[in-house]
Chains A and B, each alone.
Chain A
């Protein structure tokens, strides 16, 4: 079964990047918000269709290797898509399409009139960058796309300044930290290039294998690792994230929270397991001795901090940092089950957090704020929005029948297979912290009476439908996880070099 004509099918990999890349400047020519929205929404739907087609192709025929402009790798730039990045491409483009639907109302409510069309241009650019990072098989090309996505997201975050000027400092902090991260990454790539003379990831993997004792390689690895950790907000390099998520417009937060850090995790997976390989990292460098404690701390401290936040958006931002801890924990086991847990959590957390931030956007729209006090009485006044929030909260906790449960299941299974009982227990203990920070909100929303004289209606359908699409997905794939697990499991097996 093919979605597109044969000529398109042959060039899916590059079209996925080219379409939004060309659409972005075209979008900036549209002066009216509605036109820009319709155009950008159409593009994001096309991207989703392309990504789904790619996943179908990869699942059926194995990895796609696309040589850009016909230049053979390793000289030319190569797009290489296996099950892992095909899955990530679908996650990113699906979230982008759903959030785009949501953006229409949210942008008009939260961003100044003349800036509204810019939003869609930047959104498409950011999408291009994220898809490019995921699809490319070239380490330097990855840097280029990383910068496209980062630069556009700095601006997207600063668009929140219309409502709260602190968005500007948040964006500036992110700019500084993000640039340091990107610079570290490119230094690392430079060092690797110095030793191997190649930038193609597959080629790097082959050439790095015999260089285990080389200090330059080690330094390169360290730079790449730190750079990526900054990008994915691995504790304690997460400082940019809470402010950026808090002050960005709702649609931006929902989109970035669900995609940007996930893509960074993907890049980390790619470098750890494809480029450097488990033998080098986990046998010789005993990397898990370093990653494991870091991940466990990342699960706890941000969760504890989240408990004391009064701004709910910031609370969820800290929760995201904790969730990234789970992802890093999964991959630090360097087992197929562990990597499966990470990959499935990429998807599971994306739908959950996306849905939660969209629900908060509705609260912002109706009450004018997202602090704890704004939630008073909303359980009655905005029942559907709050129900979405509660279900999303359940998923963060890991209640069965939500996707969060599936992630926890695999993560714990990976810990037990590795013989690490205490870690398994810590994973569960940290999910209980999520109970506390979610329940604070539930209590205020359902037990406190609404503020005096405050008349609030349920959010409009343009908010509710996309929110419930993602929350619904977090329920559906929590009950029937066989397909997502098949993809994630085979992607993990392939990544670990065991067929697929």
Chain B
């Protein structure tokens, strides 16, 4: 299989899977087998690209011309490679988890659920491999629209309202700001290709650069930079597998990934480094980091707390991008990977708790560790990774972000990062501690609660181990990403 075929297959395998899932909808076992095989085939296909990219090549495919001078084209570069690997690998894990969760929770319309899930993954692959901004934008919008039915899966009034917020903010920012920024880029530079060193250097000067960059950063609503973050907590009405893979990994990471792509390949690191505008956006990102953590502390609903935690963590990636030093950029990219494994573990645990004990509020989870020891242990591992403590992968990305901040001589940002870690400890660690060391009281009855379905536990185990593996072997990620900052 050539790299060319692999790129096209990565897009078509999940789409074909969606078709088959719809076809076999009446036979749940067959349908879920199809999903698993599709996810496995996708990961295997994406993995064949890895050696090609690490060898320094940039395999690309141009499908056809959409507008004169603008093609739908794909190019696999290190950042996209990493994103696609993570998303496709975690899709397998999430599918295993979803089988346990959706059956354990007796959800309806499961065929629609699996089909749109597969389409969303296809859109994620499109975002990861996009060779120009137009292609990326198209798949970005498909991702928004294909996840709408997943967010509103329950079909209740609450889900409908959440769907409005979700679509309103994501479409509003992408059409109102990002599209405008993209067309402006096209008008200024005459190209939208992702190129090393960017395409804007020399074509634009003065305050216009800052406005354009701000339009991108805020227009990429999926990156959830405040004040455009409200869609993410709203999306938590979705079934937990959706929250786990899409709203902790695929969708939100598509957002910060786009921010990184724009920074590195549209503006160019060297071009941005000498501009003041990045400072304002650093402040916005830092504010998102701190405020997100503070709001997370006030939430008693576990999924809501995790959602605000995600908003805060996405701020790290945006911050790294806006620091525009090589170490910070690599740190940002690594944080996409590290946070993905940590946060998906936490969401898996939240869903497992919901299935096994029907508890969604943190205050009800005292003493739950005795009934669900594996789940709560995994929650502890995931928490450590999010906080950035050894022996978890989260340590490394924070490490490089701090180095990057020092490199850029922004000591106050080091303080922000440290403060945020403290806040992370405050809102995450009490949950497993109380579960293990507190005794249940009147309204937190744990009698009769058993561990989550086996399928869920397998998935949780895999991602927890992933957190530790990433601590032991961060070089793989670092070496993959290092070339994007240029020679």
Q: Contact residues of A with B, CB < 8 Å?
A: 394, 397-401, 406, 408-409, 412-413, 416-417, 424-425, 428-429, 431-432, 435, 439, 443, 447, 479-482, 485-486, 489
Contact = CB atoms under 8 A, between A and B. Distances in A.
A408 B67 CA distance: 12
Contact of A482 (B68, B172, B175, B180): B68
Nearest to B208: A421
B68 A432 contact: no
A447 B152 contact: yes
Contacts of A429: 176
A479 B65 CA distance: 9
A409 B184 contact: no
Given A417-B187, A447-B155, A399 B141 contact: yes
Interface of B: 64-68, 72, 134, 137-138, 141-142, 145, 152, 155, 160, 163-164, 167-168, 171-172, 175-176, 179-180, 183-184, 186-187
Contacts of B168: 435
Given A400-B137, A406-B67, 17 more contacts: A398-B175, A399-B141, A399-B145, A400-B134, A409-B67, A416-B183, A417-B187, A432-B175, A435-B175, A439-B164, A443-B163, A443-B164, A447-B155, A480-B66, A482-B65, A482-B67, A489-B68
Contacts of A485: 67-68
A114 to B, nearest CB: 46
23 contacts: A394-B145, A397-B171, A397-B175, A400-B137, A409-B67, A409-B183, A413-B187, A416-B184, A425-B180, A428-B176, A428-B179, A429-B176, A431-B175, A432-B176, A435-B171, A435-B175, A439-B164, A447-B155, A479-B66, A480-B65, A480-B66, A482-B67, A485-B67
Contacts of B186: 413
A429 B175 CA distance: 8
A435 B137 CA distance: 18
A481 B66 contact: yes
Chain A interface, >50% SS class: helix
A106 B186 CA distance: 45
Contacts of A480: 64-66
A489 B186 CA distance: 18
Contacts of A394: 145
Contacts of A479: 66, 72
A412 B180 contact: yes
Name the residue among A428, A486, A489 with the largest chain B CB count within 10 angstroms: A428
Contacts of B179: 408, 412, 428
A500 to B, nearest CB: 15
Contacts of A417: 187
Nearest to B215: A425
Nearest to A400: B138
Nearest to A449: B155
Nearest to B140: A400
Contacts of B64: 480
Nearest to B156: A447
A413 B69 CA distance: 14
A389 to B, nearest CB: 15
Nearest to B160: A447
B328 to A, nearest CB: 31
A193 to B, nearest CB: 41
